[in-house]
Amino acid sequence: MNTTLPPRLRLDRITKAFGGVHALTDLSLDVMPGQIIGLIGPNGAGKTTTFNVITGAYRASSGTVLLDGQAVTSEPPHKIARAGIMRTFQNIRLFSDMTVWEHLLVAQPHSGLAVRRLLPMRFSNRKTIERAEEVLEFFALGNVRNRPARTLPYGLQRRVEMARAVTARPRLLLLDEPVAGMNHDEAEAIRALVLRLRQGGLSILLIEHDMAFVMNLCDELYVLDFGILIAHGRPAEIRANPAVLDAYLGRAA
Ligand SMILES: Nc1ncnc2c1ncn2[C@@H]1O[C@H](COP(=O)(O)OP(=O)(O)OP(=O)(O)O)[C@@H](O)[C@H]1O
Ligand SMILES: [Mg+2]
């Protein structure tokens, strides 16, 4: 790895408080270009809050978020998205009446017109359509392209969320529990897709409670407990870390 490159993402001592609740305390974390990094920990540990701070949905109480060495802390969410950070949501947020195909058209930023959400077909140029086709094929969603999101089974809705997030060619993809509620085969399919996305140059930070998935996929893991980083290392190190076993993994066993 070229060590002169800045991290794709760096969190430098991020703290986020909600009134008296410290959801995150002094969190520092790096995602190097091409890495797949996992963020794990018990319910309420601050994982989704971390994504909300990175994407600008929440303003950090202190600390810095850097994308390729540039501070993006406190930029509005649309600017952070345009800079190349896209995410999926723990609770799926698709437009229930829009088709899969329409989701992929409106995910592309060519036109700032709000009306595109209402009339995506009419406002799409050839490049937009080609990119949507490419993503549809990559995610094997061709056979449900004309289905409204609400009619899809849960696992496919998660897949559409992921597809939408990569359509605008982000540099960093944030996945919030990408295989929650999926069976083993569905999770394996997602793992293969994440690996292919990395091959295509994407860097990925993911939150997940499915430990088999995380351990088999991630280059490194960061473990949060009560908003504090209690461990960071390779999956094999994390699996054997007494503090992690005590705070998290031991509970699931
Ligand atoms: N908007 C908010 N207002 C007040 N408290 C919040 C807000 N968002 C998160 N919190 C609190 O911050 C803490 C961390 O929540 P967060 O959603 O980040 O946890 P998590 O690690 O994603 O948990 P889970 O695994 O259950 O999804 C919790 O105590 C939560 O109640
Ligand atoms: Mg969460």
Same domain, 181 and 70: yes
- Is 45 close to ligand 1, i.e. is its CB under 6 Å away? yes
Of 152, 169, 186, the residue that ends a domain is 169
Same domain, 39 and 164: no
Same domain, 177 and 79: yes
Cα-to-centroid distance, 45 and ligand 1 (Å) = 7
Residue 66 or 168, more confident: 66
Share of the chain above pLDDT 90, in %: 80
Cα-to-centroid distance, 21 and ligand 1 (Å) = 10
CATH number, position 50: 3.40.50.300
- Is 49 close to ligand 1, i.e. is its CB under 6 Å away? yes
Same domain, 67 and 101: no
Q: Which structural domain range is residue 150 located in?
A: 93-169
- Is 21 close to ligand 1, i.e. is its CB under 6 Å away? yes
Same domain, 128 and 186: no
Same domain, 181 and 248: yes
Which one of the ligands is nearest to 89 CA? 2
Cα-to-centroid distance, 224 and ligand 2 (Å) = 12
Same domain, 4 and 34: yes
Same domain, 4 and 66: yes
Same domain, 73 and 188: yes
d(CA 147, CA 87): 22
Q: Which protein residue has the closest C-alpha to ligand 1 atom 4?
A: 18
- Is 46 close to ligand 1, i.e. is its CB under 6 Å away? yes
Residue 2: what pLDDT? 55
- Is 87 close to ligand 1, i.e. is its CB under 6 Å away? no
Compute the average pLDDT of residues 59-81: 95
Compute the average pLDDT of residues 34-63: 97
Residue 149: what pLDDT? 95
Q: Which protein residue has the closest C-alpha to ligand 1 atom 30?
A: 44
- pLDDT, tens digit (0-9, with 9 covering 90-100), for 124-141: 678 888 999 999 999 999
- Is 62 close to ligand 1, i.e. is its CB under 6 Å away? no
Same domain, 3 and 75: yes
Q: pTM here?
A: 0.93
Residue 107: what pLDDT? 84
- pLDDT, tens digit (0-9, with 9 covering 90-100), for 79-99: 999 999 999 999 988 999 999
Same domain, 31 and 104: no
Query: Domains in the chain: how many in total?
Result: 2
Same domain, 178 and 153: no
Residue 214: what pLDDT? 96
